[in-house]
Amino acid sequence: MKSETVIDNRPVKVQVSHLTKYFGSLHVLDDVSFDIKKGEFVCVVGPTGCGKTTFLNLLTKIYEPSEGELRIDGELADPKKHNLAFVFQEPSALPWLTVEDNLRFGLKIKKLPKEEIERRVDRILKLLGLEEFRKAYPGQLSTSTEQRVIIGRAFAMEPDLLLMDEPYGQMDIKLRFYLEDEVLRLWREIGTTVVFITHNIEEAVYLSEKVLILSNKPATIKEELKNNLPYPRDIASREFVEMRKHITEQIKWW
């Protein structure tokens, strides 16, 4: 496999420092700091209800942090300036737009030139094999195809930072395996920086280059774990199982 996983000299893309969030008196996040390298695939795992989604919403600036800051390329993150994309937990295709218009949605908001929009849309459609559904509405698609459209829409933004919040939470195992490979393929093809939140440890080990393990509420980073296993990963290999066990141990709060 590529040697880049061994010596990682990619520049730092996202810098999170001392991120803290209170909702009234509820302390959700406590002094979270970490870096993400350009093009890195980071998975965030943690016990249920530890504030994973809050964490992500802070990164997208849906919430403002109580303390701390998020910098992208050294600048304070701002959805208007930076290119952020989000795949939400629930299906979020815009039902009144066709598949191709869904893919165009964010690009039009960013006011990219028309040729560039078309180039990217065509590329994503081809990468995902969705050409035949180009003119279809999300309501006419199966759940998994709709989810692929949403993931495609996020990648089409070629974002500085792509945030995914348990995008496969509701799916059965077959679809999940399929879509996990799909996401890896897009990630490698487009070179996006990804933060992927999941409660599925196996998924985290399968996908990530780095795993952030969050503690119970108020969440801090319990461990930052490098994952150098070569892609494509064998979920039955000894190293894979060991890493999975290790993360499971770390997450246990009972």
Partner 1 sequence: MDKKTKTKKRDKLGRGQNASAYTYAMLSFAGVMAFLIIWQLLLVAGIVSDRYLAKPTELVVLFVQKFSDPAPDGATLLVSIWASLRVSLTGLILAIVIGVPLGLCMGWFKALDRLVTPIFEIIRPIPPVSWIPLTILWMGIGLRAKAFIIFFSAFIPCVINSYTGVKLTNKTLINVARTSGASYVETFYKVAIPSALTMVFTGIRVAVGNAWSTLVAAEMLAASAGLGYMILMGRMFARADIIILGMLVIGAIGAFFNGILSFVENHVIKWR
Tell whether residue 95 is a contact of partner 1 (CB under 8 A).
yes
Tell whether residue 90 is a contact of partner 1 (CB under 8 A).
yes
CB closer to partner 1, 51 vs 106: 106
List of residues 6+ apart from 121 with CB closer than 8 A: 100, 103, 104, 107, 156
Tell whether residue 145 is a contact of partner 1 (CB under 8 A).
no
Q: Smallest distance from the beta carbon of 233 to partner 1, in angstroms?
A: 30
Tell whether residue 215 is a contact of partner 1 (CB under 8 A).
no
Select from 69, 67, 57 the least CA-distant residue to 14: 69
For partner 1, which residue of 88, 177, 178, 240 counts as binding (CB under 8 A)? 88
List of residues 6+ apart from 39 with CB closer than 8 A: 10, 13, 191, 192, 193
CB closer to partner 1, 102 vs 250: 102
Binding mask 58-77 for partner 1 (x = CB under 8 A): --xxx---------------
E-assigned strand segments in 168-235: 194-197, 210-214, 221-226
For residue 196, the cross-strand partners are 43, 164
For partner 1, which residue of 2, 74, 139, 249 counts as binding (CB under 8 A)? 139
Tell whether residue 79 is a contact of partner 1 (CB under 8 A).
yes
Tell whether residue 105 is a contact of partner 1 (CB under 8 A).
yes
For partner 1 (CB under 8 A), the number of binding residues is: 25
Tell whether residue 96 is a contact of partner 1 (CB under 8 A).
yes
For partner 1, which residue of 22, 37, 94, 112 counts as binding (CB under 8 A)? 94
CB closer to partner 1, 90 vs 224: 90
List of residues 6+ apart from 109 with CB closer than 8 A: none
Structure tokens at 120: 């990217």
Tell whether residue 86 is a contact of partner 1 (CB under 8 A).
yes
List of residues 6+ apart from 35 with CB closer than 8 A: 12, 14, 15, 16
Tell whether residue 162 is a contact of partner 1 (CB under 8 A).
no
Cα separation, 107 vs 188, in Å, equals: 21
For partner 1, which residue of 109, 119, 189, 223 counts as binding (CB under 8 A)? 109
CB closer to partner 1, 105 vs 231: 105
List of residues 6+ apart from 204 with CB closer than 8 A: 43, 45, 196, 198, 211, 247
Cα torsion 9, 153, 88, 145 to 10°: value is: -120
Q: Under a CB-based contact definition with an 8 Å cutoff, are residues 21 and 63 in contact?
A: yes
At 197 the three-state DSSP class reads: strand
CB closer to partner 1, 21 vs 222: 21
CB closer to partner 1, 51 vs 159: 159
Residues that bind partner 1 (CB under 8 A): 60-62, 79-81, 83-86, 88, 90, 92, 94-97, 105-106, 109-110, 137-139, 157
